[in-house]
């Protein structure tokens, strides 16, 4: 944890020195059978160390974006969590461990399905009582369905584009807590 936090802080300092905005990504993977509580504990430890190192390296936190994981049980855990529980625990972890100067948080999808990642982000934004602008930086949860569809017929570009545009729209709505399952189901190809 210390080595990774140190490397992230050095990176962030160099990026700011080059007059750019560093995206600080201290991801805790959801691989394993750990509980949501354990994820909260480990993520807290990682964030605390990360911000300790950023301070040592004199990184201006107002000029950074945090790219963390959500607080989730492991992907092999038998513990089931609702989007409301994930949102509550994730926001609590952020409030306890991320300095208020940080302007933006862009979540990783971290192995969640497209719908889970969108729904969880929507729930976080419903209860966001911080000054953090909370958004997404999804890879798989943004493009997986479009890529699967495109792989079936690489000449059918418009279908893949419609699917990708739909995912983009759904995730965009979740940043302002305006997503719903009804809107999710409106995709027509």
Q: According to the model, what pLDDT value does residue 121 have?
A: 98
Q: Over range 98-118, report the average pLDDT.
A: 95
Contact 5, 49 (CB under 8 A): yes
Per-residue pLDDT tens digits for 60-82: 999 999 999 999 999 999 998 99
d(CA 149, CA 166): 13
Q: What is the DSSP string of 92-134?
A: HHHHHHS-TT--EEEE--TT--HHHHHHHHHHHHHH--SS-EE
Per-residue pLDDT tens digits for 144-184: 999 999 999 999 999 999 999 999 999 999 999 999 999 99
Q: What are the beta bridge partners of residue 65?
A: 23, 104
Output 142 or 133, whichever has higher pLDDT.
133
pLDDT tier, 189 (very low <50, low <70, confident <90, very high otherwise): low
Backbone angles phi, psi at 176, to 5 degrees: -120, 20
The pLDDT of residue 188 is above 80:
no
Contact 182, 119 (CB under 8 A): no
The residue among 185, 169, 167, 178 whose CA lies nearest residue 125 is 178
d(CA 36, CA 69): 12
Q: According to the model, what pLDDT value does residue 129 have?
A: 97
The pLDDT of residue 57 is above 90:
yes
pLDDT tier, 27 (very low <50, low <70, confident <90, very high otherwise): confident
Please report how many Cα atoms fall inside a 13 Å half-sphere around the Cα of residue 39, on the Cβ side: 29
Percentage of residues in the chain having pLDDT higher than 90: 91
Please report how the helices 83-97 and 114-127 are oriented relative to each other, as an axis angle in degrees rounded to 10.
60
**Mind telling me the catalytic residues?**
25, 67
Burial classification of residue 116, based on how many CB atoms lie within 10 Å of its CB (0-12 exposed, 13-18 middle, 19 or more buried): middle
Q: E-strand spans in the chain?
A: 23-24, 65-66, 104-107, 133-136
Q: According to the model, what pLDDT value does residue 150 have?
A: 93
Q: Over range 93-118, report the average pLDDT.
A: 95
d(CA 26, CA 182): 34
Per-residue pLDDT tens digits for 5-20: 999 999 999 999 999 9
């Amino acid at each position: 944890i210390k080595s990774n936090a140190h490397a992230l802080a050095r990176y962030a300092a160099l990026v700011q020195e080059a007059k750019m905005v560093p995206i600080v990504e201290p991801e805790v993977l959801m691989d394993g059978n750990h509980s949501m509580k354990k994820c909260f504990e480990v993520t807290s430890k990682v964030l605390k160390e990360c911000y300790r190192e950023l301070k040592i390296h004199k990184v201006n936190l107002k000029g950074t974006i945090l790219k963390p994981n959500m607080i989730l049980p492991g992907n092999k855990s038998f513990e089931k969590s609702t989007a409301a529980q994930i949102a509550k625990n994730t926001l609590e972890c952020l409030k306890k461990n991320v300095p208020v100067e940080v302007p933006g948080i862009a979540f990783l999808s971290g192995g969640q399905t497209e719908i889970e990642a969108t729904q969880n982000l929507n729930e976080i934004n419903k209860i966001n009582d911080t000054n953090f602008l909370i958004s997404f930086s999804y890879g798989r949860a943004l493009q997986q369905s479009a890529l699967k569809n495109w792989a079936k017929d690489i000449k059918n570009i418009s279908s893949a584009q419609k699917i990708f545009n739909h995912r983009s729209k759904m995730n965009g709505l979740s940043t302002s807590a305006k997503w719903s399952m009804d809107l999710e189901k409106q995709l027509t190809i």
